[in-house]
Amino acid sequence: MTGPILSLRGVSKSFPQGGLLDRLLGRDSRLVALDDVSLDVMRGDVVGIVGESGSGKSTLAGLAVGLARPTSGEVLLDGQSMAVLMRDHAGPWRRRVQMVFQDSSSALNPRKSVERCLGETLALRGVPRAQRDSEIADLLTLVGLGPEIGPRLPHELSGGQRQRIGLARALAMKPEVLIADEPVSALDVSLQAQVINLLSRLTRELGLTLLFISHDLALVRTLCSRIVVMRKGTIVEQGPCLDVLGRPQHPYTQALIAAVPKGLAGRRTPLPVRADAAVPETREDIHGAA
């Protein structure tokens, strides 16, 4: 198809505030997390979603993956409405849109081994039991891990390994769209580089469409071809990464870039902006010389 693979059309999302007493007394109020957001993501795009805490980035991710329904507006996958695809059950949507969560510790069941976690996901996809072991091995290889990881529990893994398992679990469904919500914010810089390199490689090799949510403009500029800037539940600016970060038009985008530590703004060598570019491996390479 030539149209967008994922679309938001006038989407708003609000949440109730206050307790039961407030509602009984007519003091019910609502927090607006997204306000009339429209966005088209084309197949194969690598889109960075940036903004300060509370800007609506994670709410947008939750709606796109089907963890929540919009208060108003419509979310579409290849032109088909989420409301229709998820009318009876979430399976048709969840098989095509998957998410890697920020906190790898809480995203994995502490009582389930890696191989059991991946095996259950493959079962949901309908993979016969006899084929699951080989697919688990393939998934571990795909994310750069060996078969010795299979019997381990989450607490026996490093943060970087847990994040790779979260990625492997998402890929086990063979999604078309992958949403990564702050996937490296809890990792040190060397592990961030490994995971970003892995995401870059997999988007190329598997033809994934990626939404990468982050507050780190250096990582977004390195990985993404397009950028969407959010503030208070709305999109204030979007476009090619190089254009938006190099020539920001909206005052909020300008303020975001100005707030970046001097190392990012004053580096001697610009960060690569291609999705297939190699990611710097050290803190000094990422943040530049002061």
pLDDT number for residue 155: 92
Q: Which residue has the higher pLDDT, 66 or 85?
A: 66
Bridge partners of residue 228, in order along the sequence: 49, 238
pLDDT number for residue 19: 67
Asked whether the predicted pLDDT for residue 82 surpasses 50, the reply is: yes
In the chain, domain spans: 6-96+175-287
pLDDT number for residue 30: 81
174-197 as b/e, with b when 16 or more CB fall inside 10 Å? ebbbbbbbbbbebbebebbbbbbb
Helix H, strand E, coil C: the string for the chain is CCCCCEEEEEEEEEEEECCHHHHHCCCCEEEEEEEEEEEEECCCCEEEEECCCCCCHHHHHHHHHCCCCCCEEEEEECCEEHHHHCCCCCHHHHCCEEEECCCHHHHCCCCCCHHHHHHHHHHHHCCCHHHHHHHHHHHHHHCCCCHHHCCCCHHHCCHHHHHHHHHHHHHCCCCCEEEEECCCCCCCHHHHHHHHHHHHHHHHHHCCEEEEECCCHHHHHHHCCEEEEEECCEEEEEEEHHHHHHCCCCHHHHHHHHCCCHHHHCCCCCCCCCCCCCCCCCHHHHHCCC
Task: Please state the pTM of the whole predicted model.
Answer: 0.82
pLDDT tens for 33-64 read: 999 999 999 999 999 999 988 899 999 999 99
Asked whether the predicted pLDDT for residue 267 surpasses 50, the reply is: no
Q: Which residue has the higher pLDDT, 71 or 276?
A: 71
The encoded tokens of residue 272 equal: 């690569």
Query: Lowest-pLDDT range, 85-89, 236-240, 266-270?
Result: 266-270
Is 28 in contact with 54 (CB distance < 8 Å)? Answer: no
Alpha-carbon span 210 to 224, nearest angstrom: 9
Nearest to residue 7, comparing CAs of 87, 76, 71?
76
- The mean pLDDT value for 188-216 works out to 87
The class that CATH gives domain 6-96+175-287 is: alpha beta
